[in-house]
Structure 1
Amino acid sequence: MATFSVLDLSPITEGGSVAQSLENSRRLAQAAEENGYTRFWLAEHHGMKGIASAATSIVISHVAAATKTIRVGSGGIMLPNHSPLVIAEQFGTLAALYPGRIDLGLGRAPGTDMRTAQALRRNMEASGNNFPNDVVELQALLGPVAEDQKIIAVPGADTNVPIWLLGSSHFSAHLAGMLGLPFAFASHFAPDMLLSALEIYRERFTPSETLAKPQVMVGVMGVAADTDEEANYLFTSMQQSFVALRRNARGQFPPPVQSMDGLWSYDEKIFVDHSMMYAVVGGPETIRRKIGAFLEQTKADELIISMPIFHMQARLNSLRLFADAQRDLAKAA
């Protein structure tokens, strides 16, 4: 049976603050640990008024310091925004502070708009194209020091922090398979390529020192509540956010509404519904059924759930209900 994990964006809710968002991430991680989740990952986004996890390695430390056993990591670090040496030092430091608990998920998108990406990267020409080489360089910096190695990450060297490749297309599926790394696919915003990307990864997988066989994680949006009606109501916050994203009008994370009528056009509704085709939204029975069908379809080893919910108490309740669903499905397997 697949294990469950949590992907958190440290949402900054309307009327809230960055400090409160980071405190909420800490509380959510503690609850995830108490409810038996495998890992708690945070994502790198920049210049977004509704996301507080831009300095991802710092937020990882904030969360790891408040927990004891759950793995904490990045979902992901956008490697083209950084030099491999800087990330090796950051995650080597995290591995020293929280031994055996740190994961390094890597993506190649900017995690922002092009203007902000330019401010982050300076050189936009080489960044994305260098991603495969940068991944290999980062692996070497985190691995044992070679005899003739000229550049050494301190901290970082020989920490062997586990690296995952994240993807929303076929590119990282090919690369993860070739390098023998675990692969996480973002079906929560790239549904069309999900099944073909997983097929490519499994077919092209080459065993490595890191991994003997393919390891697949799939990301989904999830909102669980006591009833289907309540879950659908809570999910309108994410629907509003996706509409704002399509309009290039990003703001703080909005409260839920009774109806999306009048808040989106027909085309926007089609766009959001399609993007969220794999979202797991509903009461306990509904989420068990949807997760069971999704895992049967994907054969994923792990499900990582992003819970875009405005009210913190409802977010904590959703987390508990998904944990209950995982236990029920495991018993039935």
Structure 2
Amino acid sequence: MKHFSLLDLSPIPEGKTVANALANSVKLACAAERAGYHRYWLAEHHNMPGIASAATALVIGHVAAATTTMRIGAGGIMLPNHSPLVIAEQFGTLATLYPDRIDLGLGRAPGTDMATARALRRHMASEDNFPQDVLELIGYLGDDATETGVQAFPGTGTNVPIWILGSSLYGAQLAAHLGLPYAFASHFAPAMLEEALDVYRRTFRPSIWLKEPHAMIAVGVCAADTDAEATFLRSSQILALVRLRTGKPSKLPLPTHNLEQEVPSALLHQVRQALSCSATGSPSTIKQQLGDLIKTYQPDEVMVTGMIHEPSARIRSFEIAADALNSFCKAPAAA
């Protein structure tokens, strides 16, 4: 493993505001930089009352301004929601302001419900233009003018690194075909992780951007001083996903000791299965569980994520994770 990184969904805890969540993200990013995280990514979600990073490029700029060395990026931008030219201009601007520090991960899903997707896109197309849009965006960020003569100012010549994100074989195939790094969303959809990594590695074609495959897996983490405390803190994220799946998205709930009494057993089983690519517990437990996942999937990079109601406990959780992950890196974390 070469690096370890962090995905922040900028959760809004119950009883707090969007302003609190964004301030918490800045504090977490600064702590992550000190702890040795290589990247810090934020994700695009819409119409979700518990997530503050909808205007993802703006939040990336806010976090980048508060840090100095860590790479900051999108994990990801849902490209079907946007014009490739607009995204090139946004991330070209970020790359100009923060040279050699900006990443752009691209997803194919809407990152929301279909009604909100229609509100975002105005006109819903039945055809899948994602591969063409990715290539168009890469063209805008490259050194040469596109065939149409349209250029992104800022954007042209910034060559912002592009990642393909996915939770199925589609993204793995596209990333391999284009010779781009690939990140699998195993933190909430682990079912096809092994197969997707195999497809990506086996069919990868070297490119001007990447000579060898670079695969990143996302892992949920909830760490605390004891296993019991970590299990308690993790209940917030479980409850949040339960509410989302039952059509009642909310701010990040307070943790509870009574999950089994509050959530029907079948639904709780489904949610736990969705979050099963994870590590929960004390420092020693976290190190063992992360080590098992790394041994099984042999990722080039691990990106941890996790939502905890109390901001200080969330920072502590990622500090514990960093201590464990650093021991699995073949090179220094900030290399």
TM-score of the aligned structures, taking structure 2 as reference length: 0.96
Shift of 1:328: 3.2
The 1-side partners of 2:25 and 2:272 are apart by 27
Greater RCO, 1 or 2 (C-alpha within 8 Å, sep 6+): 2
Distance verdict in 2 for CA 1:180–1:330, change over 3 Å = closer
The 1-side partners of 2:201 and 2:124 are apart by 31
Shift of 1:35: 0.6
Deviation by residue 1:173-196 (Cα, 9 ceiling, x = unmatched): 000000000000000111110000
Aligned to 2:257: 258
Unaligned ranges ≥5, structure 2 = 331-335
Count of aligned residue pairs for this structure pair = 332
The 2-side partners of 1:164 and 1:148 are apart by 23
The 1-side partners of 2:275 and 2:2 are apart by 21
Distance verdict in 2 for CA 1:179–1:117, change over 3 Å = same
- Are the equivalent residues in 2 in contact too, given 1:12–1:51 (CA < 8 A)? yes
**Is the aligned partner of 1:160 residue 2:159?**
yes
State the secondary structure of the residue aligned to 1:329: coil
Could you list the structure 1 runs, at least 4 aligned residues long, displaced by more than 2 angstroms after superposition.
Answer: 146-149, 327-331
Aligned to 1:179: 178
Aligned to 1:56: 56
Alignment of 1:1-333 (within 5 A): 1-126=1-126, 129-146=128-145, 149-330=148-329
- Are the equivalent residues in 1 in contact too, given 2:139–2:146 (CA < 8 A)? no
State the secondary structure of the residue aligned to 1:304: strand
Q: CA RMSD in A?
A: 1.5
Shift of 1:323: 1.1
State the secondary structure of the residue aligned to 1:303: strand
- Are the equivalent residues in 2 in contact too, given 1:288–1:329 (CA < 8 A)? no
The 2-side partners of 1:47 and 1:180 are apart by 33
Shift of 1:259: 2.1
The 1-side partners of 2:280 and 2:168 are apart by 24
State the secondary structure of the residue aligned to 1:192: coil
TM-score of the aligned structures, taking structure 1 as reference length: 0.97
Shift of 1:149: 4.8
The 2-side partners of 1:310 and 1:290 are apart by 23
State the secondary structure of the residue aligned to 2:100: coil
- Are the equivalent residues in 1 in contact too, given 2:3–2:329 (CA < 8 A)? no
Deviation by residue 1:263-282 (Cα, 9 ceiling, x = unmatched): 11111111012111111111
The 1-side partners of 2:153 and 2:2 are apart by 36
The residue identity in structure 2 corresponding to 1:45 is H
Distance verdict in 2 for CA 1:50–1:199, change over 3 Å = same
The 1-side partners of 2:230 and 2:147 are apart by 57
The 2-side partners of 1:220 and 1:330 are apart by 16
